[in-house]
Amino acid sequence: MEPRNETRVSDFLLMEVTKDPERKPLLFSLFLSMYLVTILGNLLIILAVSSDPHLHTPMYFFISNLSINDICLSTTTVPKMLVNMQTQNQHISYSGCPTQIYFVLVFASLESSLLAVMAYDRYVAICHPLRYTVIMNPRLCGLLLLLPMLIITVDALLHSLMVLRLSFCTNLEIPLFFCEVVQIIQLACSDTLINNILIYLATGVFRGIPLCGIIFSYTQIVSSVLRMSSAEGKYKTFSTCGSHLSVVSLFYGTGFGVYISSALTHSSRNTTVASVMYTVVPQMMNPFIYSLRNRDMKGALRKLISRTISLL
């Protein structure tokens, strides 16, 4: 057995978004702007839904929770990256890294779960419209939100605790701008078999099952729409799903982009760029997608903005 140079870990080293000092102010301003837009856009969605009684429906209940989750997911990664860029210090503490892993896992998995629940909501609304209010009652909506959250929280805590039991080599450089469980495990010198098994199981449960649920829901929706005789009815039905499909495509598309970039290329810089796209762009774009493609949401936002202006 080959001797391995293990070390007591005090902190990890995150990767810089850029090594070019001339680009850092520009990138800092860009990511700060994107983060502020993410916070403001999602807050507007939450306020619009909560302030308009017409939007107190299951669909908008899940949209507002998706906005809350997007704010939390962005806040878990972006502020730390901005602080590191400003201070030119890429270190993250040994205790801080598993903490960040925990929150990234919670909010990323919850995003996937919410998208699946929203697909189910559209399936019930289109395929069983007469029974929609009976099926999607407040109790079921709360259960669809809280049950996955509870399971995800326990799973993320397990992953974080399993990271703490690992010993690490002298190479403590993480090829991302935030702590990600797979990258941390790859730095370990101790046996990581159990960690890898847990990751594969979690990926199947919290990524595979929601994706299968989304595909099944939309298969049933398309089948139902094709049986409609009215072209106007088909267009109206598809338009109600357009925003959700755009959000699903953006989330899973950027997620697959991270996986492909890390699997096919050995460039940590490309992986970093892909991870930025996955953890920043979807959360920023979701409010625009839902507000620009949804007449009720645009009306609620106009009322909210005009009410706010009148109070100033």
Segment 222-273, tens digit of pLDDT: 888 888 777 777 777 777 788 888 888 888 887 776 666 665 655 566 666 6
What burial class does residue 121 get, using C-beta atoms within 10 Å of its C-beta: 0-12 exposed, 13-18 middle, 19+ buried?
buried
Please report, for residues 43, 47, 142, 144, the alpha-carbon distance to residue 219 in angstroms, rounded to integers and kept in the order given. 32, 33, 25, 21
Q: Does residue 162 lie within any of the structural domains? A: yes
Domain with residue 304: its CATH number is: 1.20.1070.10
Packed helices 231-264 and 96-127: angle between N→C axes, nearest 10 degrees:
160
Q: Does residue 1 lie within any of the structural domains? A: no
Please report, for residues 51, 115, 298, the alpha-carbon distance to residue 281 in angstroms, rounded to integers and kept in the order given. 27, 16, 21
Say yes or no to pLDDT of 74 above 90: yes
User: What backbone torsions phi and psi does residue 12 show, to the nearest 5 degrees?
Assistant: -110, 165
Quote the tokens at residue 32.
């700060």
Say yes or no to pLDDT of 104 above 90: yes
Please report, for residues 20, 133, 155, 302, the alpha-carbon distance to residue 23 in angstroms, rounded to integers and kept in the order given. 5, 53, 39, 38
What span, in angstroms and rounded, lies between the C-alpha atoms of 236 and 51? 26
Task: Quickly count: other Cβ atoms within 10 Å of residue 55's Cβ.
Answer: 20
Mean pLDDT to the nearest integer, 185-210:
88
Task: Quickly count: other Cβ atoms within 10 Å of residue 94's Cβ.
Answer: 15
User: What backbone torsions phi and psi does residue 120 show, to the nearest 5 degrees?
Assistant: -65, -40
Residue 3 confidence (pLDDT): 47
What span, in angstroms and rounded, lies between the C-alpha atoms of 88 and 59? 43
Q: Does residue 126 lie within any of the structural domains? A: yes
Domain range for 25 is 6-311
Q: Does residue 86 lie within any of the structural domains? A: yes
Task: Write down the residue that tokens 């901005």 correspond to.
Answer: 82
Q: Does residue 245 lie within any of the structural domains? A: yes
Say yes or no to pLDDT of 134 above 90: yes
User: What backbone torsions phi and psi does residue 13 show, to the nearest 5 degrees?
Assistant: -115, 115
Q: Does residue 119 lie within any of the structural domains? A: yes
Residue 261 confidence (pLDDT): 62
Q: Does residue 66 lie within any of the structural domains? A: yes
What span, in angstroms and rounded, lies between the C-alpha atoms of 14 and 29? 20
pLDDT category of residue 100 using cuts at 50, 70 and 90: very high
Residue 238 confidence (pLDDT): 75
Residue 265 confidence (pLDDT): 58
Beta strands in the chain (DSSP E): 6-7, 11-14, 91-93, 168-169, 173-174
When divided into structural domains, the chain yields a total of: 1
Side-by-side strand order, sheet with 11-14:
91-93, 11-14, 173-174
pLDDT category of residue 88 using cuts at 50, 70 and 90: confident
